[in-house]
Structure 1
Amino acid sequence: MTSVGSSILTSLGAGSGIDTASLVSSLVSATREPKQSAITGRQTLNNARISALASAIGSLDTFADALSQVLGGAGYTGTPASTDTSIAGLTLLSGGTPTGLPAQLTVQSLATARVVASSATSGATGSSEIGTGSLTITTASGDTTFTIDSTNNSYSGLASAINNADIGVTASVVTDASGTRLVFKGETGAANDFSIAVAADDGGSVLAGLGWSGTDSTTMTSTSTPQNAKITMDGVDYEYASNSIDNAIPYLRIDLVKAAPGTTVTLSMSQPTATMADLLGEFVDAYNTLLKALNTATATGTDSSNSGVLNGVAGVRDMKRQLSAITSTPLASSGTYRTLADIGITTNRDGTLSLDSTRLNDALAADPEGVTNMLNPKVPSASSPGLSSLMDTVRDNIEKDDGPLKLAQKRYQGLADDLTDQLAKLDDQMADYEEQLTKIYSTMETRLSALKATQSYLEQQVKVWTNSNNN
């Protein structure tokens, strides 16, 4: 785009014979380039630091998450098993390892829900009108009233209104060879019964017949009553409102499939297929990959050109310091083996780890259960966190909002914004400078043109005077 100054020079630059447009451009470039290079150089370094910090945090997150996932997997915790999955199935829940197994389970009855169906209306469809008025559903939580008018006067309209209300009762429209009906279903459990009251504008409408308060009628029939699931676990009777039971056995979900009084199902956990020696070898390898990347990023060179991009960043130094403490931090509150150092994992001078396989194997041979519980306790606690919980704690401390690492990220992001503003400001300054120079040289051009005109006049006069004197 042609600047204001360039336009002025184009219109006035023919008088002196000097290429003032090129001169102004050269002067502006000579002023801009060192300033712009300084800013862009700082931008390059700052962007590299932002990227490297994000990479370091991402690598730490990946490491901690992978460790939690591995230790929580079946390879290190075992697999839940039921001797008859047609009666009860099992699902492992996160957070710990099930205790109290094996257990003997008998399913006396399943949890059921109240189901009420209207009589079928021959020839009707989901969009057929049911009549206007109101319908109130009463549950243990209270009353919910639905107004039926021209906007929802249909089987589907009323069912949608009920389902969208999320009150613990659902409605569905069922059409078969006999016609269309509404089916209402509550949640399982004895405490989750419901009733329906209607106030219809037309006593002969379908809506008028949808009321139900515990007694069947010609238009509404209950096909299922609400009751709790009843089970016997190791000789003790229990009741639950749902057929999915999460709190009978810690960290284990029991899904009841069918009632089978008199049949005993054994619930158990298979033994882990992976060894703690395998885990620690993988842990050391992954940890060293992370530390080597941090060491490269923080390396000290002879000058800034060959130093690591994160050299001198306090947040990264703090990150390395906290990671280095892992080998000496207690993973268990008691026992012969309480830290990683106790079982043969030591820290090298560069911060990476070494695994003494002989020492580890000796520890596993001497107290396999103690080592396993130290690394992967059934129920982690503050005093016995285990390896996964410890890594999560270290990660959370490193990445806390007011910690050195996050503050460094904020500082570099703020600098990035500031450098972008500096470049924009430099553009404005150089545009003003170019216009200023253009005005100066335009004025000079005008004066030179006037001087040349005066010179031409004087030369003509001298020539006239000379000719007159010669004559």
Structure 2
Amino acid sequence: MTSVSSSILTALGAGSGIDTSSLVSSLVSAAREPKQNAITSRQSLNSARISALASASSSLDTFADALNSLLAGTGYSGTPASNDTSIVAVSALPGGTPTGLPAQIEVQQLASARTLVSAVNANQDASQGAAATVGVGELSLKVGSGNAVSIKIDATNNSYTGLAAAINNAGAGVTATVVTDSQGTRLMLKGPTGAANDFSLTTVSSTTDATTGADLSRFAWSSAGPVSGSTMSSAGQPKDAIILLDGVEQHYAANTIDTAIPNLRIDLNKAAPGTSVTLATTEPTTSMRDLMVEFVDAYNTLMKALNTATATGTDASTAGVLNGEASIRDMKRQLSQMVSAQLTATGPYKTLNDLGVSTNRDGTLSLDTAALDKVMAADPKAITQMLNPSVKTATNIGLAGLMDKVRDNSQKDGGPLAASQARYKALASNLSDQLDKLDTQMADYQTQLTKVYSVMENRLSAFKATQSYLTQQVAMWTKSND
């Protein structure tokens, strides 16, 4: 690019005319560059801060989400167990932690249901099977002390299939099945388990089919015993399950028990009088130890990144991009308070400090694994419930809940992080406006300079024309005098 001085010297010394375009361009660039560099430098720093804040917030999200996902797995909670699942199986119920374990249980008797089966249909063509008629009329079905329901059979459902469907659709708790095998077709009925859940099927009305002899009263049954004219026979008696739980006899109508031990489901699989089964809770001691090691490592990775971003440095070139940023200082402060924050209001251990976690001078954490192993051995259940409670409450939030609390406080609307992000976003818009304004100012300046130098060039051209004329006249005068 031609300099200002060279343009002037060329114009005055060589008489070749002024390069006003280059001259104006040089002057405009000289005026623009320092202002533009100052703005773009601020833009670069502002963009870096916006990116760094987003990265810090995203890292906090990743940490909290990963911890929640990890602790949601079955390997990080106390698991109820039975030492003989062929007799008794157990599982945790939602809403709390099983209490009263370990316990001894003996299954003396399984719960059973009344099971009825009709005689084989021998009066009709066996090829008809489930479609064979049963007779028309009405039966009344009653289970235990419940209300009786009506079972009506007419021309539209006069078959074994129709009768079974009518009983099932009554919703009384009795299941009807049509069995067709090499012996013929039969109706099988099964009621709910439990001694109090016997059922009866009484005849309200019945009309015997003159052709097939089908008579609905054949399916009647009384809980007191067989009914005259009925072909139904009992294949199973309704009984309660009987267990001894820690020596106390208990009776239940079903083989699935939810109330014997709080928050524990007990499934009775086999009667085994005289055999005691142990129910206990298996604590995830190894998983919890690994969890603490991984938590400290992940925490330190996040804290080191924040330390780098906020480093003071010896000068601007070595300082962190978020040096002096209040929102990140607040985030680090909240993270540092996690080790002393109370995770539970009960039990011998309440904070991470109690598990051997301590804070270093740079804000990172250290884990004393020997201390952790000692408390794990002393009370593994308490550690599990402290770090990953079965039911979270305001005073028993667990490790994931504490991490969520830090995240929510850091990212809340109107908080320091949100305020900083809004401020840098506004600055980015302002700097962009400043560049647009500078472009307008420089365009106006260029137009002004172009006009000035255009006038100057015209005047200089006139001066040169006069000079040329005078030079010619002097030459002529000199020649004539010779």
Output the amino acid matched with 2:323. N
CA distance in structure 2 between the partners assigned to 1:277 and 1:367 by the alignment:
13
SS of residue paired to 1:330: coil
CA separation of 1:363/1:454 partners in 2, compared to 1, >3 Å: closer, same or farther? same
Measure, in 2, the Cα distance between the counterparts of 1:76 and 1:36.
58
CA distance in 1, matches of 2:481, 2:78: 126
Residues 289-315 of structure 1 deviation map (CA, whole Å, 9 limit, x = unaligned):
111111111111111110111110000
What CA distance in whole angstroms lies between the structure 2 residues aligned with 1:81 and 1:339? Answer: 28
Instruction: Work out whether residues 76 and 274 of structure 1, in 8 Å CA contact, stay in contact via their aligned partners in 2.
Output: no
Counterpart residue number, 1:52? 52
**CA–CA distance in structure 2, aligned partners of residues 216 and 457 of structure 1:** 134
Please name the residue that 2:215 is paired with: none
CA contact (8 A) 2:81 2:280 kept: yes
8 Å CA contact retained: 1:323, 1:394:
yes
Q: Residue 290 of structure 2 corresponds to which residue in structure 1? A: 278
Q: Is the 8 A contact 2:326 2:416 kept in 1?
A: yes
Letter of the 1:295 counterpart: N
CA distance in 2, matches of 1:373, 1:317: 31
**d(CA) in 2 for partners of 1:408, 1:432:** 36
CA distance in structure 2 between the aligned counterparts of 1:392 and 1:465, rounded to whole angstroms: 103
- 1:284 shift after superposition: 0.7
Q: Which residue in 2 is equivalent to 1:297?
A: 309
Q: Distance between the aligned counterparts of 1:367 and 1:252, measured in 2?
A: 21
Preserved CA contact (<8 Å) 1:99 1:378? no
TM-score normalised by the chain length of structure 2: 0.58
1:55-204 to 2 correspondences below 5 Å: 55-77=55-77, 99=98
1:370 maps to: 382
Please list the CA deviations of residues 99-137 of structure 1 after superposition, one character each: whole Å capped at 9, or x if unmatched. Answer: 5899999999xxxxxxxxxxxxxxxxxxxxxxxxxxxxx
Tell me, yes or no, if the aligned pair for 1:74 and 1:272 is still in contact at 8 Å: no
- Aligned residue for 1:321? 333
Q: How far did 1:226 drift?
A: 8.6
Deviations 1:235-278 (A, max 9, x none): 7789xxxxxxxxxx99999xxxxxxxx99xxx998764743211
Change (3 A) 1:268 1:362: closer
* Partner residue in 1 for 2:408: 396
CA distance in 2, matches of 1:216, 1:436: 106
Q: Is the 8 A contact 1:77 1:97 kept in 2?
A: no
1:334 aligns with 2:354: no
How far does residue 225 in structure 1 lie from its aligned partner after superposition?
A: 4.6
Distance 1:363 1:90, change over 3 A: closer
Change in Cα spacing, 1:357 to 1:415, as seen in structure 2 (3 Å) is same
How many angstroms does 1:338 deviate by? 0.9
Change (3 A) 1:90 1:343: closer
- State the match for 1:470 in structure 2: 481
Quickly say closer, same or farther: Cα 1:399–1:237, change in 2 above 3 A: farther
Residues 250/318 of structure 1: CA separation in 2 closer, same or farther (3 Å cut): farther
* CA offsets 1:43-68 (integer angstroms, 9 cap, x no match): 11111111111111111111111111
- Contact kept? 2:96, 2:390, Cα under 8 Å: yes
SS in 1 for 2:351: coil
Q: Which amino acid aligns with 1:40?
A: T
Q: Does 1:428 align with 2:431?
A: no
Match of 2:128 in 1: none
Q: Please name the residue that 1:451 is paired with.
A: 463
Which secondary structure does the structure 2 equivalent of 1:346 belong to? strand
What is the CA-CA distance between 1:374 and the residue it aligns to? 1.2
Which position in structure 2 is the counterpart of 1:380?
392
The alpha carbon displacement at 1:334 in A equals 2.1
Residues 188-213 of structure 1: per-residue CA shift (max 9 Å, x gap) = xxxxxxxxxxxxxxxxxxxxxxxxxx
Query: Against the structure 1 CA distance between its residues 25 and 91, is the aligned structure 2 distance closer, same or farther, given a 3 Å change threshold?
Result: farther
Helix, strand or coil: the match of 1:332?
Answer: coil
2:31, 2:172 → 1: CA distance? 84
Offset, 1:69: 1.2
SS in structure 1 at match of 2:389: coil
Q: 1:437 to 1:282 in 2, by over 3 A?
A: same
Write the deviation string for residues 358-383 of structure 1: whole angstroms up to 9, x where unpaired: 22122122222222211111111111
Residue 437, structure 1, aligned to residue 445, structure 2 = no
**Which residue of structure 2 lines up, in the alignment, with residue 40 of structure 1?**
40
Q: Is the 2:349–2:383 contact (alpha carbons within 8 Å) kept by the matching residues of 1?
A: yes
Contact 1:25 1:434 in 2 (8 A): yes
CA distance in 1, matches of 2:112, 2:341: 46
Summarize the Cα distance change of 1:97–1:63 in structure 2 as closer, same or farther, 3 Å threshold.
farther
1:98–1:378 contact (8 Å) kept in structure 2: yes
Separation (CA, whole Å) in 1 of partners of 2:93 and 2:75? 12
Structure number with bigger Rg: 2
- Structure 1 distance, partners of 2:170, 2:426, is 61
**Whole-angstrom distance in 2 between the partners of 1:445 and 1:251:** 99
Task: Quote the Cα distance in structure 2 between the aligned partners of 1:448 and 1:336.
Answer: 98
For normalisation by structure 1, the TM-score amounts to 0.59
SS in 2 for 1:393: helix
| Residue 237 of structure 2: aligned partner | none
Q: Give the structure 2 partner of residue 20 of structure 1.
A: 20
Structure 1 consecutive aligned stretches of length 4 or more whose deviation exceeds 4 Å: 78-84, 88-93, 96-108, 215-218, 221-238, 249-253, 267-271, 463-467
Name the aligned partner's letter for residue 449 of structure 1.
S
Q: 1:228 to 1:277 in 2, by over 3 A?
A: farther
Query: Letter of the aligned partner of 2:408 in structure 1?
Result: D
Distance 2:423 2:112 in 1: 61
Contact persistence 1:16–1:448 (CA under 8 A): no
1:191 is aligned to: none
Cα deviation, 1:428-465, whole Å, max 9, x if unaligned, reads 22222222211111111111122222223333444455
Work out the number of aligned pairs and report it: 334
One-letter amino acid of the structure 1 residue matched with residue 53 of structure 2: L
Q: Is the 8 A contact 1:301 1:307 kept in 2?
A: yes
1:417 aligns with 429
Following the alignment from structure 1 to structure 2, what is the Cα–Cα distance between the partners of residues 250 and 25? 87
Looking at structure 1, the residues matched to 402 and 170 of structure 2 have their Cα atoms a distance apart, in angstroms, of: 46
Partner Cα separation in structure 2 for residue 228 and residue 441 of structure 1: 106
